[in-house]
Structure 1
Amino acid sequence: MASHHHRLHFSQLLFISSFLFFGLYVCFLPSPVAAQCKNPPVIFNFGDSNSDTGGLFAGLGFPVDLPNGRAFFGRSTGRLSDGRLLIDFLCQSLNASLLSPYLDSLSESKFNNGANFAVVGSSTLPKYVPFSLNIQVMQFLHFKARTLELVTAGSGNFIDDEGFRNALYMTDIGQNDLADSFSKNLTYIEVIKRIPSVISEIKNAVKTLYDHGGRKFWIHNTGPLGCLPQKLSLIQLLQKKDLDTYGCISSYNAAVRLFNEALLHLCQKMKSELKDATIVHVDIFSIKYDLIANSTKYGFSNPLMACCGFGGPPYNYNIQVTCGHQGCPVCAEGSKSISWDGIHYTEAANAMIASKVLSMAYSTPRTPFDFFCRS
């Protein structure tokens, strides 16, 4: 998926207000609610727009204008949502500061809480293009080397070697590899033939981080690509009749399921290969698909329609008039939409997704998120 992004500054006031706002979603949260840390972990994140907190805007200057950010930040922060992303809720559940994009040179952060290397539109392949997964890992290695130089020189409050070793390394990537393959009109068989190469890149990334001392890994699988209004609007143009019971594109989701199966297998294999590593696989697909399939149960309406988009029902998505551009209408604040802009999720949906992630029901092995707190 792709689009654009921006940046984020946090003050204590923002954090307190975020906490109050988080209370609005307490009804969504299964019982052991938020994992709380006395000592939040350092967090490094790698991925695409699902977890980009402003990397595209900081790195390439792509504008991400209001109404992005309207629900929580009251301004655009470069996130492709009306508010917080899943990663923001996960950080808050650990009492951790929200992550600044690595590329944001004007960030108030000294990155002593970690850094976010995720950038909108990123994929694993092709390699060596901004900002493929292997580039993000290379950026991390540069960041680590430079930070440790500063620590050795006695500079400021930077992450030390132990901080890198005990950090939590999060990954959420692969969606664009599949989406890009389908958008090139590859057949279903051709798309799934590419899956092993994508999985191999994720393995390389985790292995590299492990070889450089990382021991705690949290890996998200990919959501239901075939339920995105953007994809559905394009299929509609092609007059394809490949929809499941809930109106999602069956072949797209079948490919995603195969990818996710391979990713789970990889995580289990790496657990035995990478001694003393904790590797948790989180089934984001099941959470998001359940949210769409049972939207009314969760208080959402029109699960396949973008809140911020153009064209009206059934999908309210037009590739010529996308969210944040002039002339693109947006639904009223407080509307219970799942899809924000046809590709990304609303803050309300992300809050619900976060509550399910924190429940441990979708994690293999079932690991409480506060396991990653620093002792």
Structure 2
Amino acid sequence: MATQSLSLSLSHFFFLFFLTSLSPVSSQCKHPPIIFNFGDSNSDTGGLLAGLGFPVNPPYGRSFFRRSTGRLSDGRLLIDFLYQSLNASFLSPYLDSLSGSKFTNGANFAVVGSSTLPKFIPFSLNIQLMQFLHFKARTLELASSGEGSLINEEGFKKALYMIDIGQNDLADSFDKNMSYAQLTKRIPSIIIEIKNAVKSLYNQGGRKFWIHNTGPLGCLPQKLWLVQKGVLDQVGCLSVYNSAARLFNEALWHLCQELRTELEGAAIVYVDIYAIKYDLIANATKYGFSNPLMACCGFGGPPYNYNVRVTCGNPGHEVCAEGSRFISWDGIHFSEAANSIVASRVLSTAYSSPRTAFTFFCQD
């Protein structure tokens, strides 16, 4: 009993430590932070809901917002915690016409389900880039006509451009029953789309880039439920899925190195999200989490609490008690508690190459 109490105390300590590390650092910014984000459901703050009206039902949003906001979590996402670390308001979805935002702190182009390929299907990375180009042109047009509160040319130059995409490209390849060899041949095409996006943003004046690699795909309860007879690693994750994610991440890392030499004056930070998330899953008890490969919200109970026919937010779903310590929220996306720890690790600079404070873009 004493041992169990000590374990709970340590877990509580770790949780408080990570939340404390998210204290605002806005005093380090010499000008208001502006961020433009491109990505998928890992960073969508309501784009799918606003753009297509696709329902994201409770209990999504229960832990922080106390209502569904279109985020695929019980609360805040990694991008929300990063923005809060700047003491800035949350980033509004570009597609949300009712948010009342003038997007003075940037815009979020990420939409659930987005990938890099095929490049002309909403809301692929290429489409998100086209939306940004329209947004910038229209914003500058309005600013030149006397609307002084909008982002000006200098603001676009000083902004941070975040990219967090690729997971759906890999998942789609597996869903189409591609062999591992076929998938590896597809990775260069995914990387080219990311390269083209960065170069296009650079040609528009962007100089500060923050690029996340993809997490351990084989540790998602959804994938584990779908692939019943896959080879598992020592943690219980699908080896071939994680191998594909690592291969993609290696190619992305090399791309960032290449772009640093090609794009004069550009600062490109590569962030190892995979290492952060895999460590969190492999050492879940150290951080106060239980059942690291099981969804809080889903159906079916242990070991994964996931069923593609009864997903979170739909009739018949089962959800853990509020305040429970689960890493996976719905079998695909992280819980707010897990996202807070991922954010603290990102902010530590230990997983960034080169090691760079998140505030670097607003210090000049």
- TM superposition score normalised by structure 1: 0.91
Deviations 1:198-242 (A, max 9, x none): 000000000000000000000000000000000000001xxx241
Amino acid at match of 1:315: Y
Asked if 1:365 corresponds to 2:357, the answer is: no
Q: Paired residue for 1:71? A: 63
Distance in 1 (CA, whole Å) between partners of 2:352 and 2:88 is 21
Give me the whole-angstrom Cα distance separating, in 2, the residues matched to 1:330 and 1:186.
33
Map of 1:251 onto structure 2: 240
Residues 55-134 of structure 1: pairs in structure 2 closer than 5 A: 55-134=47-126
Letter in 1 for 2:309: Q
* 8 Å Cα contact 2:22-2:81 kept in structure 1: no
Aligned-residue offset at 1:27: 1.1
* Structure 2 partner of 1:217: 209
Q: Within 5 A, what are the aligned runs for 1:183-202?
A: 183-202=175-194
Residues 28-37 or 117-126, more deviating: 28-37
| 1:18-57 aligned within 5 A | 26-28=16-18, 34-37=24-27, 38=29, 39-57=31-49
1:373 Cα deviation from its structure 2 partner: 2.0
What is the CA-CA distance between 1:26 and the residue it aligns to?
4.4
Alignment of 1:139-154 (within 5 A): 139-154=131-146
Distance 2:324 2:152 in 1: 45
Contact 2:117 2:124 in 1 (8 A): yes
Partner SS for 1:276: coil
Identity of aligned residues (%): 73
1:58 offset after TM fit, Å?
0.6
| Alignment partners' CA distance in 1, 2:58 and 2:283 | 30
Deviation at 1:371, TM superposition (A): 1.3
TM-score by length of 2: 0.94
Are 1:148 and 1:160, in contact at CA under 8 Å, matched by a contact in 2? yes
2:295 to 295, 306, 331: 306
The letter for the 1-side match of 2:315 is Q
Q: Matches of 1:364 and 1:35 in 2, distance apart?
A: 21
CA shift at 1:36, angstroms?
A: 2.8
Give the superposed CA RMSD: 1.5
Contact 1:33–1:355 (8 Å) recurs in 2: no
Q: Within the alignment, does 1:231 sit opposite 2:223 as a pair?
A: yes
Q: 1:32 to 1:331 in 2, by over 3 A?
A: closer
- Cα distance, 1:327 vs. partner? 1.4
- Give the alignment of 1:330-349 within 5 angstroms: 330-349=319-338
CA spacing shift, 1:182–1:359, aligned 2, 3 Å? same
- The answer to whether the 8 Å contact 1:33/1:359 transfers is no
Gaps of 5+ in 2: 1-12
8 Å CA contact 1:34, 1:358 repeated in 2: no
Q: Per the alignment, in what secondary structure is the counterpart of residue 318 of structure 2?
A: coil
Structure 1 distance, partners of 2:16, 2:264, is: 37
Consecutive unaligned residues of structure 1, counting only runs of 5 or more, are 1-22
What is the rounded CA distance, in whole Å, between the counterparts of 1:132 and 1:80 in structure 2? 18
Is the Cα–Cα contact under 8 Å of residues 225 and 256 in structure 1 kept in the other structure? Answer: yes
Using the alignment, how far apart are the partners of 2:195 and 2:99 within structure 1? 31
| Matching residue within 264, 284, 293 for 1:275 | 264
Deviation at 1:32, TM superposition (A): 9.0
* Conservation of the 8 A alpha-carbon contact between 1:35 and 1:369: no
Amino acid at match of 2:264: K
Shift of 1:96: 1.7
Q: How big is the shift at 1:24?
A: 10
Give the match's secondary structure for 1:150.
Answer: helix
Residues of 1 paired with 2:40 and 2:22: CA distance?
29
